[in-house]
Amino acid sequence: MTKESTIRAELEAAGLRAAAIDRGGKKNYAELLSRALAMRLSSALRPHFRGVLPNEDGSGQESRVRSAKGFKRLDVNYSTPELGLGLGVSIKTINFPDARSGRYTKNYTRVDAELRAEASDYHERQPYAVMVAIVFLPIDSCDDGGRGAPSSFGQAVQVFRFRANRRRPSDQSMLFEKVYIGLYATEPAERFGDVGFFDVTTAPPRNGRPALLGFEHMVRGIVEVYDERNRPSFVWADAEPEPLSLPLDVSEE
């Protein structure tokens, strides 16, 4: 992994994972990690989206955005007076396996319900908004399958794929334009903090570890899906693509 494909600093900012042993500790760890990840992602998106929140100084965390059900808070928010909400990113982290099963699947239903509500509330009010979800899982979630069951990671792709692939503003409001799973290493032997991303619309292995996108590649995918909605290009057979423009009105000729 490249330096850009590690979240070591963000994991360290959340505190010691091993020390989060009770429900309150795990909740606090998850909140701190989500905030640190939002900062990291907004910094990567800022060259493409001027004014994206949170700010470089840490202000603007969980900024308020108007939805169909009043104001809600969004992890990463790019809004303008012209667009309203242009791009929103929801970050979810599932950091600990279930003590009984040893798998990460226990909270999938809850996270999916949260994502469904977020996508619906924002899109119902602002159907042209581009919404992206990133669900972070430890990479050992790829290794816990067996006895006919897919790994926790494989099951995550099954669950969250149904929340992805909103192509047009007229598509179902409960969908996100993109959903990624971020797989990160928690052990020093695996280079603690190394992270890669998986687009849930692609086919995962039933068990084992998939090929992953680097952090920069994932960011580029977010920019591309935003551009498809807001800055579409026209592709020529014999020339470079160019921004799509409306035909001139006859009265303007």
Query: Integer distance in angstroms from the first to the last C-alpha of the chain?
Result: 54
For residues 105 and 96, give the distance between their C-alpha atoms in angstroms, rounded to a whole number. Answer: 10
Beta bridge partners of 233: 243
In this prediction the pTM is: 0.89
Sign of the C-alpha dihedral computed for residues 100, 133, 187 and 1 taken in this order: positive
What one-letter code names the amino acid at 47? Answer: P
Q: Are strands 84-93 and 76-80 parallel, antiparallel or unpaired?
A: antiparallel
3-state secondary structure at position 97 = coil
CA gyration radius, the chain:
19
In tens digits, the chain (253 residues) has pLDDT values of 444 799 999 999 998 887 777 788 889 999 999 999 999 999 999 999 999 999 998 888 888 787 777 788 899 999 998 889 999 999 999 999 998 889 999 999 999 999 999 999 999 999 999 999 999 999 999 999 888 889 999 999 999 999 999 999 999 999 999 999 999 999 887 899 999 999 999 999 999 999 999 999 999 999 999 999 988 778 888 888 777 765 555 444 4
**What does the DSSP 8-state code read for residue 3?**
G
Q: Is 115 exposed, middle or buried (0-12, 13-18, 19+ CB in 10 A)?
A: buried
